[in-house]
Amino acid sequence: MFVDSFILAAVVHELNSVLKGGIVRSAKTVAPFGIALSLQVRNKGKIWLIASAHTRYAHIGWHHKLPKVNEVEHRETERFAEVLERHLLQARFLGAEQIDFDRLVVLHFFNITPLGERKRLALWCEIMGKHSNLVLVDEDNGLIVDSLKHLPSSMNRYREVLPGKPYLRPPSGDRKNPLTIGKDELLQITATQQISQPKDWAKIFFGMSDQLLRLMEQKVGEPLENPDAFGRALEWLRNIIEQGNFEPAIWKDESGNIVCCYPFPVPSASLQFAITSPQSPIPSPHFAPTLIEWLNSLAKREMFEQKHQSLLSNLKRNLQGLDRQLQELKQRLQEAQEAEKFRKWGDLLLTFAHEISNEAKEAVVTDYDSGQQISIPLLEGKNVTESAQYYFALYRKLKNAAETLPSVIERQQKRVDDLRKLIEQVQAANESELTEIASKIPKALTSTVETSVKTQTERNGDFLRFTVFGGYEVWVGRNAEANSKLLRTARPDDLWFHVKGAPGSHALLRVQKRGEQIPQKAIEEAAQLAAYYSSRRTSSWVEVDYTRAKYVRPAKGQKGLAFYTNFKTVAVEPKLPNF
């Protein structure tokens, strides 16, 4: 977890000292799950209040500049930005509050509607990894106005996060606020619960991250397994937070890039992020802007790595297909070398036709070249003359293949070699080079092979093919026409998948035998593919419907649309399988 409770305490302190009293002028989308509110603050000008519910880099903070992680459109975030602007435009920021020293921060606003109604609104920022969310709540009635991520009861049994529902904070168990605990209560707790290592305190109190526990242990100079030492460490922590005596520190690499930041200087060895060479922390006048810059750089790097791996996976998958085609072509060329044998078989069958019974399954005749007897298979349901004609036709086909296949194999080998070079370039590319290479990749993969394999290649090209748990093959339509073809190709017992209530590709899990029970893990991985190739790709969790293909009916006159029944629903994280 990149953002712990101590980091949020420092951010809350800065939000209250820098932005309190500011007026909201606009709301913008800065990245998928990232929102920025423009505040006009007296004597300070325009400052951006930023909140992110990213699955890995969720955070809140402020910055003088509007950060931009990427230009990817994200409907959920854009919708929520419009909701915030509609309800918070001209609202006054009253301040930030951290709840129970948990990773839960409330941003309080006051607004007067065009009708003169006074409204108190709270933006709850749940900074909790993949469960992070931003929820706008009407403080007068405790009802949810809207949220960045909607959580129906089918996805969360504890609470529904939907407009009009009462707001419930995320489940916290029996943990307590360490900042309000007294000495006597601490003694009572330790009398009933054994503390054998510092991280055991995290089971009792909010906010006790490994990094903070190491810092607290450093400040008291004693192991925190000792309740007295832990009590003194809590007193130090309380004083820092109440008085706002944070000492923001930054660690940078040799290139000057931020590799970590924390509200208080700690030894490099204590950081949860590896630093290749021990360096002294650099003091910083403000913490939140540095935090945002650091997390945004990590998000950009992760997006680069995801794009990098996605391109490599795509190229390697295509390389496997081209290699397979190349081997098939070579096998066909080897078979074509035997064309003369089939011509001779046809000649021999016609020569000895009067001696061969039409009920025979094979003909044993004398080879006029070697003088030896040879056995020639006869085709079932055909007489001797028809079998001879079949072998003559096979001879002509193989003779023609023997003449054309060498040039085809040469071209196919060049495609394989070019693709291998392209993979090497992608592996060595930096971010700007990768963007340029990516623009060339579709063209590099669209050339076709001119053989009898061509028809098969084009048909397979309509679908993306993946292998999921259990060795099951999953086909994903590339477009509306391919989705329609996928339905026509499907067998009755194949499993059909589609994201619930949103546009997306059809996905088909190909069963290995009729009536078999598909493992749940294979179903979930196929559903993840359907979610990934849909408009909900950047959502943290997506509902996907699935049913047997026999229960899916295409909509007349509308390519790619379908009606389905007898379905089940599974909630999954959109992603590609591990190759």
Least confident of 462-466, 523-527, 549-553: 462-466
pLDDT digits (tens, 9 = 90+) for 285-336: 999 999 999 998 888 888 888 888 888 888 888 888 888 888 888 888 887 8
pLDDT at site 98 = 97
Say how far apart CA 488 and CA 496 lie, in whole Å: 12
pLDDT at site 456 = 32
Q: What are the structure tokens assigned to 210, written together?
A: 């490994």
Helix, coil or strand: residue 553:
strand
Element housing 104 (H / E): strand 104-112
Q: Residues 203-227: what's their mean pLDDT? A: 92
Say how far apart CA 281 and CA 267 lie, in whole Å: 8
Strand pairing partners for 49? Answer: 37, 62
Asked if residues 551 and 566 have their Cβ atoms less than 8 Å apart, the reply is yes
pLDDT at site 395 = 85
SS (H, E, C) 114-175: CCCCEEEEEEEEECCHHHCEEEEEECCCCEEEEECCCECCCCCCCCCECCCCECCCCCCCCC
Residue whose C-alpha is closest to residue 123's, from 151, 104, 103, 141: 104
Model-wide pTM > 0.75 = no
Asked if residues 224 and 202 have their Cβ atoms less than 8 Å apart, the reply is no
- Considering only residues 6 and 72, tell me which one the structure prediction assigns the higher pLDDT: 6
Q: What are the structure tokens assigned to 102, written together?
A: 């948990």
pLDDT class of 455 with cuts at 50, 70, 90 = very low
Task: Show the domains of the chain with their CATH numbers.
Answer: 5-172 (2.30.310.10), 183-283 (no CATH), 304-444 (1.10.287), 462-572 (no CATH)
pLDDT digits (tens, 9 = 90+) for 13-40: 999 999 999 999 999 999 889 999 999 9
Element housing 428 (H / E): helix 384-428
pLDDT at site 239 = 96
pLDDT at site 513 = 82
Decide if pLDDT at 276 tops 70: no
pLDDT class of 110 with cuts at 50, 70, 90 = very high
- How long is the chain? 579
Q: What are the structure tokens assigned to 39, written together?
A: 């505040």
CB atoms within 10 A of CB 260: 20
**DSSP conformation letters of 11-43:** HHHHHHHHTTT-EEEEEEEEETTEEEEEEEETT
Say how far apart CA 107 and CA 204 lie, in whole Å: 26
